[in-house]
Structure 1
């Protein structure tokens, strides 16, 4: 059970970090497009 919980937590952290990176990338490119 604890292993599954750990895996789920890791996936959640990776997913959150990935979204943060994508959002930063979008913010970076927005001024360049204008």
Structure 2
């Protein structure tokens, strides 16, 4: 029971980190276009 909760939390955190990473790259690329 506890291991299932830990695994699900790890999966959720991995997904959140992946989304934040993609959004951050997209924002930085947009800033480059604006600066040019």
Verify same fold: TM over 0.5: yes
Unaligned 5+ segments in structure 2 are: none
1:10-21 correspondence runs (5 A): 10-21=12-23
Unaligned 5+ segments in structure 1 are: none
Q: Whole-Å Cα distance in 1 between the matches of residues 13 and 33 of structure 2?
A: 31
Please state how far the C-alpha of 1:19 moved relative to its aligned partner: 0.4
Larger-gyration structure (1/2): 2
Indicate the RMSD between aligned Cα atoms, in angstroms: 0.6
Could you tell me which residue of structure 2 aligns to residue 9 of structure 1?
A: 11
Report how many residues are paired: 34
Please report the TM-score for the alignment, with normalisation by the length of structure 2.
0.86
